[in-house]
């Protein structure tokens, strides 16, 4: 039996989904625990916390869609040809080795994600090189034959703006009405979403007995228990942009194209996953070190504390960029020399991303470790720990039951605070050339590719702008969210 | 307000002062139409339990309330000037210049990186005409006034070089050097030992006479009130219940709450136990012989031990079955260290601790674990001794689980619920978290936790010193009842002589890591032999209620 596709589980995909599952389990436990629930609600009660949570949620959605990978089934003739020699669809010569000729790989050697499929109508492929956002003509002059003469002039784009008969006169009107239609679509979607929210709120016991209209007016004047207006505004903003994209993108390059003619909208959307993976998986790798070593140092004191302190002081005194660069270079040599391990280019790039997270994690646990050691030193002197010791409770059990729950807020705060820093770190590392695989789409590689064009005249501004805007919104939302989480969880900001 | 004041114009007049706090659970009133006045040269004591709003009243007068609190309405007039109407800049001239303030904790009220001289001179240069060398001379003069020896040298020292009592003296100098008319003293001696407390109170009294200022004294200690105040205001739940002359307040309290307060003072109940000579055939339950706990001082890269702090230095005592031995001493005398050393929470360097003839210090592994069933501890601070993330039931069952009491979870659960009832809590407490309980209830949970493993000896480490007097009385009574029912022995560590008098069979007085005197409680409290014990007992402030005299008496 043949499926139209074969799912492909990349390393980071698996971890991303495990992490998602862990987060879901965590929030299910939070729902049952009155205290934790109140604390989380406090984080969301802050309007900027609520708005940034919505925006972050959208980014996470994009990231999750982009983490569902599969290999599509090749068309029959291509598969037959593939059986004869090598899969013709393979662009990367190295990948062909990965599918030995004997075993007929009937699935394409390139990995697609669900996001790719969803974005397909908006991702116009086939331009030769740079083009401005919403352009009809290329950015670079080319020679072309017309009536026997060679003219040097801006050629029309190959796939974008094909529906315009006379691009010069029709373009302005076409873009205007499409934008208007897009905004209208956005407004309609926002209204539908708001109606859906009101519909949910009506059923909620807190709003018992209120009519739809009453809830809507309260939502709008921010009189509900949660700042739903901020959520609606944030979602509305995102939906307006989405409306524009839905209407404009099938016929234009909304954000322009890059050097090899790829749509920047597509590249930016794909970068989101890389950024999220780096931001979350890295912290996942730092946690075991920071938790185990930090708490052990603080709890056992003495020799153990000395040793752990020496380790992290030493590690901290090595410039982390140096450490990361060295590890990444060693790793990339290993990956290059063992191409037979990977069936697709995506798998190789993914493994490199995975190791990058690991390396970043190994080099960046010292801060949290120090924090946890300090807090544990304080906690272990508290009387409830001594009471447990007086009962002869085992050390591990004391750590697990008494110390860990009481440092959880620190861990949570530092995880959300570090997220944005790691997203930025990826951009810097990729820019320097020791970040993700060059074939992996990320903000860092986008910026790296765009930097040369900044000195060009006229300047190619859009590729940097696209990366910048996406990253800015992501990091800002993460920071604002982290801020309200910190406020909610930090006992010092509470009213006693 | 009060007709009796006659022609005297009050220095400070508070009328209908109402302060509210905006919490997440809504607004609640912490001061409810409080009206008070203070005459020039007078001491008004504001007394009340914790949470009665007495500190908030002081902060409202100074307009130093925390962000979440605000003055809703009311008037505060100093020299007939409305303090609440002043702009913030005008208020800065009132603070320090017209009203001085000292706080409870001298350790945190001084800036550790400035010398004490700098801190006094800062106030002098802000509020008086003294500058430079003059200010320094004035600061030295003030240090002399607060009876600090060798002020010319000590003025350049940092707070850490001063003891707690000395720091409070420096705080008093800072508060008074600009010549305020009113001193607000918020629990000025609560953090200090009883002998130091007596000195500080005498100092305040003599300074008051010398510079004729008024004092607003906030305290929960009725002994301090009796010693210091001209008039007393009794507060509860943000309301002033009764204002009276001190003598009248103690001899004929009008408000039922005041009467209740007096009747719960441990002395009022009298001695609950009497000394009984130990049965010569019966071996003591716990024998401590020549116990020494020394903390090593380590220096250098290799952390070599260069010396020892001798926290406990050769302590010997014994506790019989069903007996309470009170271990009395000031802070730093090593009494808590003795308790923790017996339980092996901290290592003991030398000596023997024999429980039922078995040397606890030699036990290891399983034997030690088995021994832990016999001895348990109740701590001072009920807020720090219960894990805030665990339910009460789990807290109580933890010890049972670790020491293998009860065959299975169900049995342990039944036992935990029964214990909750035994210590006077409802069975439903089982599923609640510690923060849902008051201080006294938490202490009950802590007692239930200790009882869960059926110990014979409980070390009570100041179990009531963080509690209000009414709650303290209840907890002490609970401990006595449990002793009667279960035949428990207590090692009762405390600095409160009143509590000792109430429940101790025998007393051991500790000073600088050694026991200077021990014996039968009645005898020792009546006829102390050692000079330190005599000094300790003499320093305890006394209260006369309806003609009877009582020793210290925290409310």
B371-390 pLDDT, tens per residue?
Answer: 888 999 999 888 888 988 88
Chain B residue with minimum CA distance to A391: B399
d(Cα B197, Cα B194) in Å, to the nearest integer? 5
Query: In this complex, is the C-beta atom of A241 within 8 Å of any C-beta atom belonging to chain B?
Result: no
Return the axis-axis angle of helices A345-363 and A320-337, rounded to nearest 10°: 150
* Residue B68 to residue B146: CA distance in whole angstroms: 36
pLDDT, mean of residues B428-438:
85
CB contact under 8 A, A393 and B398: yes
Alpha helix ranges (H) inside A103-211:
114-119, 167-203
- Hey, is the C-beta of B403 within 8 angstroms of any chain A C-beta? yes
Give me the pLDDT at residue B278, please: 63
CA gap B243, B36 in Å, rounded: 8
Q: Do A383 and B379 touch (CB under 8 A)?
A: yes
Q: In this complex, which of A387, A394, A402 lies closest to B449 when CB atoms are compared? A: A387
Tokens describing residue B255: 């408000």
Is the distance from CB of A258 to CB of A264 less than 8 angstroms? yes
* pLDDT (tens digit per residue) in B218-229: 988 888 888 889
Q: Which of B22, B303, B377 is closest, CB to CB, to A390?
A: B377
* Maximum distance among all Cα pairs of chain A, rounded to whole angstroms: 99
B396-422 pLDDT, tens digit each: 999 888 888 888 888 999 999 999 998
Residues of chain B contacting residue A394, judged by C-beta atoms under 8 Å apart = 402
Structure tokens at B14: 């508070």
* C-beta of residue A277 within 8 angstroms of C-beta of residue A62: no
- Rounded to the nearest 5 degrees, what angle is found at the Cα of B538, between the Cα atoms of B532 and B540? 110
Tell me how long chain B is: 555
Tokens (6 digits) for A302: 């003495």
DSSP A94: H
Distances (CA, A) of B151 to A243, B55, B136, B172, B175: 78, 32, 11, 15, 17
DSSP state of A174: H
**Which 350-389 residues of chain A touch chain B by CB within 8 A?**
382-384, 386-389
CB-based contact (8 Å) between A335 and chain B? no
Q: Cα–Cα distance between A246 and A268 in angstroms, integer?
A: 16
**Residue B24 burial (C-beta neighbours within 10 Å; 0-12, 13-18, 19+):** exposed
Q: What percent of chain B has pLDDT over 70?
A: 93
Task: Name every chain A residue with its beta carbon within 8 A of the beta carbon of B398.
Answer: 388, 391, 393, 401
CB contact under 8 A, B402 and A42: no
Strand, helix or coil for residue B64: coil
Beta strands B231-236 and B239-245, pairing class? antiparallel
Establish if A304 touches chain B: CB-CB under 8 angstroms.
no
Which residue among A386, A391, A402 places its CB closest to the CB of B403?
A: A391
DSSP reduced 3-state for A343: coil
Helices A47-65 and A11-32 cross at an angle (nearest 10°) of: 140
Q: Is B379 on the interface with A (CB under 8 A)?
A: yes
Q: Which of B399, B402, B435, B460 to mutate to test the interface with A (most CBs of A within 10 A)?
A: B402
Kindly determine whether residue B403 and residue A392, on different chains, have CB atoms separated by under 8 Å. Answer: yes
DSSP B9: P
pLDDT at residue A486, rounded to an integer:
82
Helix (H) or strand (E) holding A44: helix A34-45
Note whether B403 contacts A382, CB cutoff 8 Å: no
The residue behind tokens 């001179």 is B121
**Start-to-end Cα distance in chain A:** 65
Task: Decide if B446 touches A, using CB distance below 8 A.
Answer: yes
Contacts of B377 in chain A (CB under 8 A): 386-387, 390
Question: Per-residue pLDDT for A422 more than 80?
Answer: yes
Q: How far apart are CA B416 and CA B427, in angstroms?
A: 9
pLDDT band (50, 70, 90) for residue A133: confident
Find chain A residues with C-beta within 8 A of B23's C-beta: 495
Interface touch A402/B403, C-beta < 8 Å = no
Tracing tokens 């068309």 back to the chain, one arrives at: A75
Q: Which letter, b or e, does each residue of B109-130 get, where b requires 16 or more Cβ atoms within 10 Å of its Cβ?
A: bbeeeebbbebbbbbbbebbeb
Put simply, whether B91 touches A (Cβ < 8 Å) is: no
Who has greater pLDDT, B360 or A342?
A: B360
Assign 3-class secondary structure to B419-485.
HHHHCCCCHHHHHCCHHHCCHHHHHHHHHHHHHCCCCCEEEEECCCCCCCHHHHHHHHHHHHHHHHH
Q: Quick one: closest CA in B to A397, which residue?
A: B402
Contacts of A495 in chain B (CB under 8 A): 21-24, 68
Please count the helices (runs of H) and the strands (runs of E) in chain B.
Answer: 21, 22
- Bridge partners, residue B457, by sequence: B375, B489
Write down the pLDDT at residue B317.
92
Question: Tokens 């691009």 — which residue?
Answer: A167
Element (H, E) at B164: helix B164-176
Backbone angles phi and psi of B12, in degrees to 5:
-125, 130
Q: Do A406 and B377 touch (CB under 8 A)?
A: no
Q: Do A388 and B377 touch (CB under 8 A)?
A: no
Q: Which two tokens stand for residue A116?
A: 């790719």
Mean pLDDT over A164-176 rounds to 84
Express each pLDDT in B316-359 by its tens digit: 999 988 889 999 988 778 888 899 999 988 888 888 899 988 88
Q: Do B384 and A42 touch (CB under 8 A)?
A: no
Nearest-Cα distance to chain B for A483, in Å, is 19
In whole angstroms, give the CA distance from residue B215 to residue B204. Answer: 9
Span A91-108, pLDDT tens digits: 444 444 444 444 455 777
How far is B47 from B39, CA to CA, in rounded Å?
A: 18
Which of A30, A301, A392, A399 would best serve as a mutation to test chain B binding (most B beta carbons within 10 A)? A392
Q: Would you place residue A491 in the very low, low, confident or very high pLDDT band (cuts 50, 70, 90)?
A: low
The reported pLDDT for the residue numbered B108 is 84
pTM across the whole model:
0.77
Instruction: Write the DSSP string, B115-148.
Output: -HHHHHHHHHHHHSS--HHHHHHHHHHHHHHTT-
A269 and A55 in contact (C-beta within 8 Å)? no
Residues 6+ apart with CB under 8 A from B230: B42, B43, B44, B245, B246
* Distance in Å, alpha carbon of B136 to nearest chain A alpha carbon: 38
Computed on alpha carbons and rounded to an integer, the radius of gyration of chain B in Å comes to: 26
Q: What is the mean pLDDT of residues A175-202?
A: 91
pLDDT of A328 strictly over 90 = no
């Amino acid at each position: 039996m043949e499926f139209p596709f074969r799912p492909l589980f990349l390393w980071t995909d698996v971890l991303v989904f495990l992490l998602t599952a862990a987060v879901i389990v965590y929030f299910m436990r939070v729902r049952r625990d009155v205290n934790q629930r109140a604390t989380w609600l406090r984080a969301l009660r802050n309007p900027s916390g609520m708005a940034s949570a919505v925006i972050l949620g959208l980014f996470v959605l994009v990231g999750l869609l982009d983490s569902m990978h599969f290999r599509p089934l090749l068309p029959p003739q291509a598969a037959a040809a593939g059986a004869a020699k090598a899969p013709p669809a393979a662009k990367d010569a190295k990948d062909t080795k990965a599918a030995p000729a004997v075993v007929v790989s009937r699935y394409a050697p390139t990995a697609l994600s669900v996001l790719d499929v969803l974005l397909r109508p908006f991702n116009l492929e086939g331009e030769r090189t740079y083009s401005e956002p919403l352009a009809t003509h290329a950015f670079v002059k080319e020679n072309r034959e017309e009536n026997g003469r060679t003219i040097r002039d801006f050629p029309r784009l190959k796939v974008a703006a094909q529906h315009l008969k006379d691009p010069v006169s029709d373009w302005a009107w076409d873009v205007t009405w499409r934008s208007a239609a897009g905004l209208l679509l956005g407004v309609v979607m926002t209204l539908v979403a708001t109606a859906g929210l009101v519909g949910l709120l009506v059923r909620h016991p807190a709003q018992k007995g209120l009519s739809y209209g009453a809830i809507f007016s309260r939502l709008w004047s921010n009189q509900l228990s949660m700042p739903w207006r901020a959520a609606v505004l944030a979602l509305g903003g995102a939906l307006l942009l989405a409306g524009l994209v839905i209407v404009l993108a099938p016929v234009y390059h909304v954000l322009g194209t890059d050097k090899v003619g790829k749509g920047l909208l597509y590249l930016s959307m794909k970068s989101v996953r890389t950024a999220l993976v780096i931001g979350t998986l890295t912290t996942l790798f730092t946690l075991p070190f920071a938790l185990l070593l930090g708490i052990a140092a603080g709890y056992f004191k003495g020799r153990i504390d000395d040793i752990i302190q020496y380790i992290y002081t030493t590690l901290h005194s090595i410039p982390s960029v140096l450490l990361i660069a060295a590890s990444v270079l060693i790793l990339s040599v290993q990956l290059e020399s063992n191409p037979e391990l990977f069936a697709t280019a995506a798998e190789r790039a993914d493994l490199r991303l995975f190791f990058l997270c690991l390396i970043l994690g190994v080099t960046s646990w010292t801060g949290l470790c120090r924090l946890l050691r300090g807090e544990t030193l304080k906690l272990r002197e508290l009387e409830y720990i001594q009471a447990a010791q007086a009962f002869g409770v085992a050390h591990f059990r004391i750590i697990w039951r008494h110390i860990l729950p009481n440092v959880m807020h620190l861990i949570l705060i530092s995880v959300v605070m570090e997220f944005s820093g790691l997203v930025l770190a990826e951009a810097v590392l990729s820019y320097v050339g020791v970040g993700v695989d060059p074939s992996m789409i990320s903000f860092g590689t986008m910026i790296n590719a765009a930097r040369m064009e900044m000195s060009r005249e006229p300047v190619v501004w859009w590729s940097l702008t696209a990366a910048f805007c996406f990253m800015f919104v992501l990091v800002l939302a993460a920071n604002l969210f982290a801020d309200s989480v910190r406020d909610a969880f930090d006992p010092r900001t509470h009213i006693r | 307000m009060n007709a009796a004041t006659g022609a005297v114009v009050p220095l400070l007049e508070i009328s209908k002062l109402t302060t509210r706090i905006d919490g997440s659970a809504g607004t609640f009133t912490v001061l409810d139409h409080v009206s008070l006045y203070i005459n020039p040269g007078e001491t008004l004591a504001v007394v009340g339990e914790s949470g009665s709003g007495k500190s908030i009243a002081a902060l409202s007068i100074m307009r130093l309330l925390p962000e979440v609190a605000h003055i809703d309405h009311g008037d505060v007039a100093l020299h007939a000037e409305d303090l609440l109407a002043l702009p913030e800049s005008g208020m800065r001239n009132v603070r320090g210049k017209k009203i001085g303030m000292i706080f409870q904790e001298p350790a945190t009220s001084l800036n550790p990186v400035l010398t004490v001289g700098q801190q006094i001179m800062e106030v002098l240069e802000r509020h008086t005409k003294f500058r430079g060398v003059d200010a320094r001379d004035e600061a030295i003069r003030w240090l002399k006034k607060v009876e600090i020896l060798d002020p010319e040298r000590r003025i350049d020292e940092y707070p850490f070089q001063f003891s707690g009592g000395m720091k409070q003296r420096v705080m008093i100098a800072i508060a008074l050097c600009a010549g305020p008319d009113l001193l607000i003293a918020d629990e000025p001696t609560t953090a200090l030992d009883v002998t130091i407390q007596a000195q500080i109170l005498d100092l305040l009294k003599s300074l008051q006479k010398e510079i004729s200022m008024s004092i607003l004294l906030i305290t929960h200690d009725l002994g301090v009130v009796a010693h210091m105040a001209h008039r007393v205001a009794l507060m509860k739940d943000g309301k002033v219940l009764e204002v009276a002359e001190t003598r009248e307040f103690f001899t004929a309290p009008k408000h039922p709450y005041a009467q209740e307060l007096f009747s719960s003072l441990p002395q009022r109940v009298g001695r609950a136990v009497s000394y009984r000579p130990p049965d010569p055939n019966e071996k003591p339950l716990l024998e401590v012989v020549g116990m020494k706990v020394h903390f090593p001082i380590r220096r250098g890269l290799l952390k070599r031990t260069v010396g020892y702090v001798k926290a406990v230095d050769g302590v010997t005592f014994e506790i019989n079955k069903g007996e309470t031995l009170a271990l009395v001493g000031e802070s730093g005398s090593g009494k808590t260290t003795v308790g923790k050393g017996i339980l092996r929470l901290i290592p003991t360097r030398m000596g023997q601790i024999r429980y039922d003839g078995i040397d606890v210090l030699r036990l290891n592994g399983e034997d030690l674990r088995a021994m832990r069933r016999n001895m348990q501890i109740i701590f001072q601070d009920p807020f720090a001794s219960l894990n805030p993330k665990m339910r009460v039931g789990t807290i109580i069952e933890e010890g049972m689980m670790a020491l293998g009491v009860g065959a299975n979870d169900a049995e342990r659960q039944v036992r935990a619920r029964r214990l909750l009832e035994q210590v006077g809590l409802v069975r439903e407490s089982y599923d609640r978290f510690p923060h849902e309980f008051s201080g006294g209830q938490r202490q009950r949970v802590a007692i239930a936790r200790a009882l869960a493993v059926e110990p014979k000896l409980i070390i009570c480490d100041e179990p009531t010193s963080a509690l209000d007097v009414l709650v303290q009385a209840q907890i002490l009574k609970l401990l006595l009842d449990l002793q009667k029912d279960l035949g428990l022995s207590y090692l009762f560590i405390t600095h409160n002589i009143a509590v000792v008098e109430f429940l101790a069979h025998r007393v051991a007085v500790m000073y600088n890591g050694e026991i200077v005197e021990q014996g039968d409680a009645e005898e020792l409290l009546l006829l102390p032999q050692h000079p330190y014990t005599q000094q300790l007992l003499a320093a305890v402030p006394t209260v006369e209620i309806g003609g009877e005299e009582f020793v210290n008496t925290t409310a």
